[in-house]
Amino acid sequence: MMGRLFLLLAFLLLAATAQAVEPSEMLKDPALEARARAISQEIRCVVCQNQTIDDSNADIAHDLRVIVRERLTAGDTDQQVKDYLTARYGDFVLLKPPFLAKTFILWMGPAMVFLIGGAIIALVLGRRRSPQLAPLSDDESRRLARLIDPK
C-alpha cells in the first residue's frame, strides 16, 4: 500500500514538471540546449500569460522556443536573445520585466492597491468607533446629576 502511494506521488510530481518542449525543437549541442532552456524559463507565453514558453503548448510558445534556439545557434548571447524578443513583443514577454518608469505600475501597483485599500478600511473603521457626540444641554446635565445623586 505504501509503495503504491509513493509511486502515485512520484508520478504526480513528474507530471507537474512536464515540459512542452518537443524533441524536434531540441538542439544537438547540450550546452546550447541548456542555455535555450534557461532563457525559455524567463520568457512568458504571450497567449497563456502565466506560463513560460518552456511550459506552454501554445503555437506562439513553440514559435518563440524555435526563435530562441535559432538565435543561439546564430551566435547570439543570452541577453541578445532576450533583447530581440523584447524588441518584438515588449517588456511583457519577460517574466521579470525591468524596473523602469513605464513598468512602475506593474511593479508598484499591487502594493499601492493594498495601501489604498488599507487606508480606506482604517478610515471607515475609525469613523465608526469614534462618533462625534454633542455636548449636553443644561437641562440634560441637571437630569443626569439627579440620576447619579438622587438626594
Kindly report the backbone phi and psi dihedral angles of residue 99, in degrees, each rounded to the nearest multiple of 5, phi listed first: -85, 100
User: Is residue 44, in this structure, part of any structural domain at all?
Assistant: yes
Reported pTM: 0.58
Residue pLDDT, tens place only, 1-10: 666 665 555 5
At 84, is the pLDDT very low, low, confident or very high (cuts 50, 70, 90)?
A: very high
CATH number at residue 67: 1.10.8.640
Handedness of CA 134, 135, 140, 145 (dihedral sign): positive
Residue 19 is which amino acid? Q
Q: How many CB atoms lie within 10 A of CB 32?
A: 14
pLDDT exceeds cutoff 90 at 67: yes
Q: How many CB atoms lie within 10 A of CB 7?
A: 10
Higher-confidence position of 104 and 143: 143
Q: Which residues pair with 43 in a beta bridge?
A: 94
**pLDDT of amino acid 2:** 64
Candidate from 10-24, 97-111, 121-135 with smallest mean pLDDT: 10-24
Residue pLDDT, tens place only, 8-53: 555 555 444 445 666 667 777 888 889 999 999 999 998 887 889 9
Query: Do residues 47 and 62 share a domain?
Result: yes
**pLDDT of amino acid 139:** 92
User: Is residue 22, in this structure, part of any structural domain at all?
Assistant: yes
Query: Which residue from 55, 58, 87, 67 is spatially nearest to 25, judged by alpha carbons?
Result: 67
Kindly report the backbone phi and psi dihedral angles of residue 94, in degrees, each rounded to the nearest multiple of 5, phi listed first: -85, 135
In this prediction, residues 76-85 reach a mean pLDDT of 94
Query: What is the count of structural domains for the chain?
Result: 2
In this prediction, residues 120-134 reach a mean pLDDT of 79
Q: What average pLDDT does the structure give for the chain?
A: 82
Residue 8 is which amino acid? L
Query: Do residues 36 and 80 share a domain?
Result: yes
User: Is residue 1, in this structure, part of any structural domain at all?
Assistant: no
In this prediction, residues 120-149 reach a mean pLDDT of 84
Q: Which domain holds residue 120?
A: 101-151
**pLDDT of amino acid 64:** 92
